[in-house]
């Protein structure tokens, strides 16, 4: 829900089997675009857990091109860090672009996660190339609901409501 432009819905669908990672997105890299990815996950650690998934894919619709990226996380006790970065090499006159989303989270109790979030995106207008803010998530069984607030107090505020279901 960007303050200076129209609201829109974005979808991310992930399927993982062992180390194989499949992902499809709608309205993520650009409005009216779809993307698909294939990746392979590597994970480990006991005290400090980590997971890294290099991905490769393509986008079509309002933007076309090849995408390479990485989704990675590291966790230690109640702290965690997640980053998703991808480079879009579009077909056509547009230059390539690095998209990124990162979260630094803290779980004071198992079902609540709070933290800081940053993103670099071109999906909606505004002068800010890098946007920062806060978030909270609540998890009940296999459902996670979240609220992200970027650029609090500015005219370029963005609110994101998220809903995740795992099965």
The domains of the chain are located at 11-136
Beta bridge partners of 101: 84, 119
In whole angstroms, give the CA distance from residue 133 to residue 135.
7
Band of pLDDT at residue 92, cut at 50, 70 and 90: low
The two structure tokens encoding residue 137: 């998530």
**Mean predicted lDDT score pLDDT of the chain:** 89
pTM assigned to the model: 0.87
* Phi and psi angles of residue 130, each rounded to the nearest 5 degrees, phi first: -115, 125
In whole angstroms, give the CA distance from residue 108 to residue 163.
20
- For residue 111, what are the contacts with CB-CB under 8 A and spacing of at least 6? 138, 139, 140
In whole angstroms, give the CA distance from residue 104 to residue 39.
23
Q: Give the model's pLDDT for residue 63.
A: 83
Beta pairing, strands 11-17 & 97-109: unpaired
Rg of the chain's alpha carbons, rounded to an integer? 16
Beta bridge partners of 72: 52, 83
The two structure tokens encoding residue 118: 């940053």
- pLDDT tens figures, 131-166: 899 999 999 999 999 999 999 988 888 888 999 999
Band of pLDDT at residue 72, cut at 50, 70 and 90: very high
């Amino acid at each position: 829900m960007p303050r200076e432009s129209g609201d829109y819905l974005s979808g991310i669908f992930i399927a993982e089997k062992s180390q194989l990672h499949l992902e499809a997105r709608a309205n993520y890299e650009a409005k009216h675009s779809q993307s698909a990815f294939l990746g392979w996950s590597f994970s480990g650690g006991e005290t400090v857990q980590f997971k890294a998934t290099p991905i490769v894919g393509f986008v079509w619709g309002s933007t076309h091109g090849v995408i390479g990226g990485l989704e990675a996380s590291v966790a230690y006790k109640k702290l965690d860090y997640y980053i998703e970065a991808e480079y879009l090499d579009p077909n056509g006159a547009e230059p390539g672009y690095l998209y990124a989303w990162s979260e630094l989270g803290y779980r004071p109790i198992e079902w609540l996660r709070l933290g800081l979030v940053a993103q670099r995106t071109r999906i909606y207008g505004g002068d800010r190339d890098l946007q920062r803010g806060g978030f909270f998530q609540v998890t009940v069984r296999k459902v996670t609901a979240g609220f992200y607030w970027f650029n609090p107090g500015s005219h370029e505020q963005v609110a994101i409501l998220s809903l995740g279901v795992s099965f």
